[in-house]
Amino acid sequence: MLNLQRALAIAPPTRFFAAAAAILLVWEVSARSARAQATERTAQPAHAEVAAWIEKLAAPKYQDRIEATRRLCQMGPVAREALRAACKSESFELSTRAQQLVAVLDRQFFAGVRVTLTASKPSVAWDEPLSVVIELENTSAYEARVPLELGAAPAADSTTVTDLQQATAMVDAGDFLEVADGAGQPVALRLDDINEEPAINAMISARASAGPVQLLKPGEKASFVLAQFNRGWARFPLLTAGEATIRFSYVPEWPEDETFGEFNRQRIGEVSSAPIRVRVTRGAPETLSRSGRMAEIKVEASGDEYIAKILCLYDKPIQLNVQYGATLPFAQFHWMLSAGEEDRTIPGAEQSRSRLTDFAASGFSLLQPGESLELGRVKAARVREVCAAPPNPSTQPWRLTASYINLCSRAWQLDQQRRSAEEWKTMPPQLQSPLPSRIFAGQLRTEAITLEPKP
């Protein structure tokens, strides 16, 4: 979805001029030294040179038109105003190509911008928040377009950042950040459930159709703060001990054709920063999921009992609904036995609740990352009894699993409110009050344990 944001923000022109789009940033790359950039600004192409290449946009030979397109894109903003004038040319060929080139130039980001990253701390534990600042400086003589809402990000010294502010900044910058953990593995941007936060959901929907664009004037500097970079609502989790690296990179998309194929391989037009390194002194528990899974359940045999436990795999605390009943908003937990086509169930908890008034807003258990909670246990003798019960005891080996199901969450609550606002008003107060965030919602089932026949 985040890649969709950038793709839509840079809508492609025709195939021919899409090829030209990515060449724009060749004229200025942030990796150059300040001295080289200053030298380049004093060596701008002469107006006569720009005019000559513009005339060749209408040249009879295809290769001449391609070369003119290359050169004008390399000149970047230097050629923009002359191209705008060429849009009014009496030559249909010239005016058409000039209009398309102007559209290409007007859609490019970070042209002439030098990017530098800084971190608020040189080292952190995996669960200690870190801020990253993107420093921007327009080193060119022309305005640069930047796809970031510069005035909306929190200040570097801000102590209070709302989830919406934090998530907005991370979503806007996330496409341009390359993050690797202490083991050198790529780290993807992780978001909590957007369906639990209407404001964040609306922001992301808006970004998918059109992201922010601001202008940096020549010589202007700006800072963009990514608060709680690794621990916020939207984050790059740094879970592995070692040296994590963070790098800014903007690469135009090149068409896959014979003319420009080499540009993709060479990442021509890239605007990037030098990587910064942050040492993660204490990694997360090994049980935590690196892909964002929230929980799992396991069954273990202990003496004459089987015990089912749920384990938090998420990098933030989660809530578990431990109120059991037949229907929503209650959860369900039970044991399942199967042999061939035969299936049998053992209730895992008292599930007699059925009235909404029985539901308690306090009926959730908080589970920290890496912690486990016992869901229930069953005697081995009870399991054997159910396996041997008529009418058709199976001769095949029985397999035991445990199942936990919960669909009650803040996202479910908000959805019910939207579906029937009037009916929702008749619900008990404990259901109308906002439920906690990050309640596990879904179904979990353990791997099956094959039961040994009783000797």
Q: State pLDDT tens for residues 172-200.
A: 999 999 999 999 999 999 999 999 999 99
Hey, what are 173's tokens? 């910058």
Tell me how far CA of residue 402 lies from CA of 304, 338, 405, 449, in angstroms. Answer: 17, 11, 10, 10
- Verify that 181 and 212 share a domain, yes or no: yes
Pick from 223, 255, 282: which residue ends a domain?
282
pLDDT at 37: 44
- Verify that 81 and 124 share a domain, yes or no: no
* H-state helical runs in 325-367: none
- Verify that 304 and 346 share a domain, yes or no: yes
Tell me how far CA of residue 225 lies from CA of 33, 210, 269, in angstroms. Answer: 24, 21, 25
Return the beta strands (E) in 99-173 as ranges: 113-119, 123-125, 132-138, 144-146
pLDDT at 455: 47
pLDDT at 67: 83
Strand partners of residue 105: none
Query: What does the alpha-carbon distance between residue 302 and residue 281 come to, in Å, rounded to a whole number?
Result: 36
User: Do 21 and 104 form a contact (C-beta atoms < 8 A)?
Assistant: yes
- Verify that 361 and 310 share a domain, yes or no: yes
φ, ψ of residue 49 to 5 degrees: the values are -65, -45
User: Do 434 and 410 form a contact (C-beta atoms < 8 A)?
Assistant: yes
Q: What is the CATH number of the domain that holds 327?
A: 2.60.40
Number of domains the chain contains: 3
Q: What is the CATH number of the domain that holds 177?
A: 2.60.40.2970
Per-residue pLDDT of the chain (455 residues; tens, 9 = 90+): 444 344 333 333 333 333 333 333 333 333 333 334 434 443 456 788 999 999 999 999 988 887 887 778 777 778 888 999 999 999 998 998 899 888 877 778 898 899 999 999 999 999 999 999 999 999 988 889 999 998 765 655 556 889 999 999 999 999 999 999 999 999 999 999 999 999 999 999 999 888 899 999 999 999 999 999 999 999 999 999 999 999 999 987 655 655 555 666 777 668 999 999 999 999 999 999 999 999 999 999 999 999 999 999 999 999 999 999 988 999 999 999 999 888 999 998 777 777 898 999 889 999 999 999 999 999 999 999 998 888 766 678 899 999 999 999 999 999 999 988 888 888 999 899 999 999 999 999 999 999 876 54
- Verify that 231 and 202 share a domain, yes or no: yes
- Verify that 137 and 220 share a domain, yes or no: yes
- Verify that 218 and 186 share a domain, yes or no: yes
Q: How many CB atoms lie within 10 A of CB 362?
A: 6
- Verify that 213 and 345 share a domain, yes or no: no
- Verify that 220 and 340 share a domain, yes or no: no
pLDDT at 323: 93
Residue span of the structural domain in which 132 resides:
113-282
Instruction: Tell me, yes or no, whether 287 lies in a domain.
Output: no
pLDDT at 355: 87
Instruction: Tell me, yes or no, whether 6 lies in a domain.
Output: no
Instruction: Tell me, yes or no, whether 163 lies in a domain.
Output: yes
- Verify that 321 and 442 share a domain, yes or no: yes
DSSP-derived 3-state class of residue 248: strand
Pick from 53, 73, 106: which residue ends a domain?
106
Pick from 64, 88, 106: which residue ends a domain?
106
Instruction: Tell me, yes or no, whether 337 lies in a domain.
Output: yes
